[in-house]
A and B are shown apart, each in its own frame.
Chain A
């Protein structure tokens, strides 16, 4: 059976009109004779949006009890049984409550696609994994519900839903997006104009990038210099900054149509943290390995890089400063000193703007 097609309506904040536009398209498909159902819809009390669900069958949500409270989630199994041609699924980055078959809604969507059902879904740019640090940097918000970049790449179509930040703020003030108390809170936090402008730029650029990777870039200029494929080696340490290095390296590799490998050093005193970071890399579809060097770790990393034809090593800026440095040279300095023939990128710490 052929996989279903995935279409993502991409915006930069709540209230830009993603769900509204998605339901408009669903209505059109339904009128054109396709079998469309709503698998999950979050009304947010928006009358104009709710009106657009009329006439389309809604699959009732599934009630899940968790710690004495009842939560409502998309009933993926019911949708699979009903097996429509097209399913509308709001809020792609949603995390399911504990106890369901799958932990993430994007995994539910993958199950629908695998069953040959076309899916229309919505998301905001700040939920894209590789932009997580940049989003934090400009908004102060650490987004927890993220979509791995490879999941977005699966989409057959990404369509930008655009609205100017000024108009969005007006909608928020008029109470179209959230109830009054929540609006006030939003205006004081996430919905500041410069933040919205920056997120909007990211959404527009990402849409252009997705379009390019679908249709190929015929521009001669886009070719790799001397036909070399970029291969990035990510050096994972116990330091929390490793997550940012992994995200950044992945983003660069994706844009350059190159690939990534992550390595950690086994047996340190924070081996758990290294394992966690390697697991994170694996979730982003990055090949991950643990090195068990007999001698100098920096030497081991550099020779591994040579063996695997790595073109560039990505490191985080080691924060181990002060007198400790005299006894124990940080791995980043060691790698730079041992690889005069290799490009090394030190990923900076990105402070709040």
Chain B
């Protein structure tokens, strides 16, 4: 689950992209196990590009692997390390790297292969690489629990998020424990794609949500039945692999006891994995709606006490405004 980025963070990303200028592009083939076909998809693409006349070389092959004979290979150094010096001197347009996760032997310029790839990209060379989810650092402990095998070489998740393109190489799992790895892989890919989607929406000045990822906003007050709302929110966010946010619109002159209740509600939300936001604004509904739109929320949870009072006023009721203003967002009203 990824947090939707703020406009400032998106701006930073744009600036970072501009700053990187002539950096080569990175395309990654991601699979959940060996044998799903990552390498063959990658080499197929290499052959197609080469046949279209692109200047392309292979910089790394797996110990048991053999690249297609038509492709030019720059032999690896001892211990399987990429010969970065030769790749840079040869300076092709595209460089293929089979298996991104690899520990270079002691004494190498970089301890890890993904760092070699980063250096190759910095020189303006495009890289196409394959990786197995089992070798992503953040998942190593989980993978070890699932497979019972210790994983040695890893690549940080952030490196995958930095890829310009990511392709999932999928196939139905033959063993049950692989199903879980497959789900981790698909959800990671969905999050990376979601980040790209946000970038597009932002570029085109579109607010709101494309709705591919569920984002739940719990509106907390001192009076709300926080436990039920947070439990439901956590549950639904987990089932949909969505994002959970809890927000409170600051109110002037809150009694000390109410403040204590509110703080404990917010703490409960934090422990349930919610992102906590304290909003400012004279108009509670406006403040909530503006925030919800900015974050691409798909469901808003509010307490009934708030709701009932509002519904009682027939015209221009605040909850009516919330529903009317919440285009693209469902409103779930909770009992007290």
- State whether these chains interact: yes
CB–CB B236/A337 < 8 A: no
CB–CB A204/B328 < 8 A: no
Whether B118 is near chain A, meaning CB under 8 Å from some CB there, is no
Report Cα–Cα, A202/B206, bound state, in Å.
Answer: 19
Report Cα–Cα, A201/B323, bound state, in Å.
Answer: 27
Interface size class of A (residues with CB under 8 A): 35 or more
Known: A211-B183, A212-B183, A348-B328. A317 touches B323 (CB 8 A): yes
Whether A282 is near chain B, meaning CB under 8 Å from some CB there, is no
| CB contact between B335 and one of A7, A194, A341 (< 8 Å): that residue | A341
CB–CB B311/A336 < 8 A: yes
Chain B residue contacts of A317, Cβ below 8 A: 323-324
Known: A205-B186, A222-B238. A138 touches B323 (CB 8 A): no
Known: A198-B212, A342-B335, A353-B206. A137 touches B238 (CB 8 A): no
Report Cα–Cα, A350/B212, bound state, in Å.
Answer: 13
CB–CB B239/A256 < 8 A: yes
| CB contact between B183 and one of A162, A208, A312 (< 8 Å): that residue | A208
| Minimal beta-carbon separation of B273 from chain A (angstroms) | 9
CB–CB A326/B189 < 8 A: no
CB–CB A197/B200 < 8 A: yes
Whether B259 is near chain A, meaning CB under 8 Å from some CB there, is no
Greatest chain B CB density within 10 A among A161, A218, A326, A353 is at A353
Chain A residue contacts of B173, Cβ below 8 A: 211, 215
Report Cα–Cα, A167/B48, bound state, in Å.
Answer: 12
CB–CB A208/B186 < 8 A: yes
Which residues in chain A, 295-335, are within 8 Å of chain B measured between CB atoms? 312, 317, 325-326, 333
Whether A240 is near chain B, meaning CB under 8 Å from some CB there, is no
Contact with A along B177-212 (1 / 0, CB 8 A): 001101100110110011011001100101010111
Chain A residue contacts of B165, Cβ below 8 A: 164, 166-167
Greatest chain B CB density within 10 A among A138, A166, A348 is at A348
Whether B54 is near chain A, meaning CB under 8 Å from some CB there, is no
| Minimal beta-carbon separation of A156 from chain B (angstroms) | 8
Whether B235 is near chain A, meaning CB under 8 Å from some CB there, is yes
CB–CB A193/B200 < 8 A: yes
| Minimal beta-carbon separation of B189 from chain A (angstroms) | 5
Report Cα–Cα, A225/B167, bound state, in Å.
Answer: 36
Whether A286 is near chain B, meaning CB under 8 Å from some CB there, is no
Chain A residue contacts of B138, Cβ below 8 A: none
Whether A157 is near chain B, meaning CB under 8 Å from some CB there, is yes
Whether A207 is near chain B, meaning CB under 8 Å from some CB there, is yes
CB–CB B323/A346 < 8 A: yes
| Minimal beta-carbon separation of B121 from chain A (angstroms) | 17
Whether A347 is near chain B, meaning CB under 8 Å from some CB there, is yes
CB–CB B180/A353 < 8 A: no
Whether B172 is near chain A, meaning CB under 8 Å from some CB there, is yes
CB–CB A343/B332 < 8 A: yes
Report Cα–Cα, A7/B172, bound state, in Å.
Answer: 9
| CB contact between B211 and one of A134, A167, A345 (< 8 Å): that residue | A134
CB–CB B330/A348 < 8 A: yes
Output the nearest chain B residue to A161 by Cβ-Cβ distance.
B170
Interface size class of B (residues with CB under 8 A): 35 or more
Report Cα–Cα, A11/B191, bound state, in Å.
Answer: 17
Chain A residue contacts of B235, Cβ below 8 A: 224-225, 256
Chain A residue contacts of B153, Cβ below 8 A: none
Report Cα–Cα, A248/B213, bound state, in Å.
Answer: 14
Which residues in chain A, 165-220, are within 8 Å of chain B measured between CB atoms? 166-167, 193-194, 197-198, 200-202, 204-205, 207-208, 211-212, 214-215, 218-219
Whether A344 is near chain B, meaning CB under 8 Å from some CB there, is yes
Whether B166 is near chain A, meaning CB under 8 Å from some CB there, is yes
Known: A200-B193, A201-B190, A208-B187. A346 touches B330 (CB 8 A): yes
Report Cα–Cα, A256/B231, bound state, in Å.
Answer: 13
CB–CB B186/A340 < 8 A: no
Chain A residue contacts of B171, Cβ below 8 A: 159
Which residues in chain B, 123-175, are within 8 Å of chain A measured between CB atoms? 165-173
Chain B residue contacts of A202, Cβ below 8 A: 212
Known: A137-B211, A215-B179, A344-B333. A157 touches B172 (CB 8 A): yes
Whether A68 is near chain B, meaning CB under 8 Å from some CB there, is no
CB–CB B334/A337 < 8 A: no
Output the nearest chain B residue to A131 by Cβ-Cβ distance.
B211
Report Cα–Cα, A45/B326, bound state, in Å.
Answer: 45
CB–CB A201/B197 < 8 A: yes
CB–CB B168/A326 < 8 A: no
Known: A201-B190, A353-B210. A348 touches B323 (CB 8 A): yes
Whether B19 is near chain A, meaning CB under 8 Å from some CB there, is no
Chain B residue contacts of A33, Cβ below 8 A: none
CB–CB B211/A162 < 8 A: no
CB–CB B186/A164 < 8 A: no
Which residues in chain B, 73-105, are within 8 Å of chain A measured between CB atoms? none
Whether A255 is near chain B, meaning CB under 8 Å from some CB there, is yes
Report Cα–Cα, A333/B331, bound state, in Å.
Answer: 13
CB–CB B332/A345 < 8 A: yes
CB–CB A343/B186 < 8 A: no
Whether A117 is near chain B, meaning CB under 8 Å from some CB there, is no
Whether A163 is near chain B, meaning CB under 8 Å from some CB there, is yes
Chain B residue contacts of A159, Cβ below 8 A: 170-172
CB–CB B304/A340 < 8 A: yes
Given contacts A208-B190, A214-B179, 20 further A-B contacts (CB under 8 A): A134-B212, A138-B210, A162-B168, A198-B197, A201-B193, A205-B212, A205-B213, A208-B182, A208-B187, A215-B173, A225-B231, A255-B240, A256-B236, A325-B315, A337-B312, A340-B308, A343-B332, A348-B330, A351-B328, A353-B210
Listed by A's residue number, 7 A-B pairs whose Cβ atoms lie within 8 Å are A160-B170, A160-B186, A194-B210, A208-B241, A215-B173, A342-B335, A345-B333
Shortest Cβ-Cβ A-B pairs, 10 listed: A208-B186, A215-B179, A201-B212, A157-B172, A160-B170, A225-B231, A198-B210, A194-B200, A162-B168, A204-B190
